[in-house]
Amino acid sequence: MRAAKTQQVALESNRSGQASNWVNPDSGHSGKVVPQQAYTRASGETCRNYEHTVTIEGRSEVVTGTACRQPDGTWRAVN
């Protein structure tokens, strides 16, 4: 839940390359989201590529993807 909320805020508010960090105090899991520059697809959607690093029990995994802004203002991962 914290990861998803942090990703939404980072995609909406962060400058390109600016990380947002999150920590789950119950599990100790943590991560950071780094969005890239926004761009407009041919369909008119505003999208951003991002990198989301998740650390669980000392092991980190990096996920990259693209998210596009929905009409309600939320960001939805498209790949």
Q: What is the pTM of this model?
A: 0.90
pLDDT in tens, 45-65: 999 999 999 999 999 999 999
> Does pLDDT of 27 surpass 90?
yes
The residues spanned by each domain of the chain are 2-77
- Neighbouring CB atoms inside 10 A of 22's CB total 20
pLDDT in tens, 8-26: 999 999 999 999 999 999 9
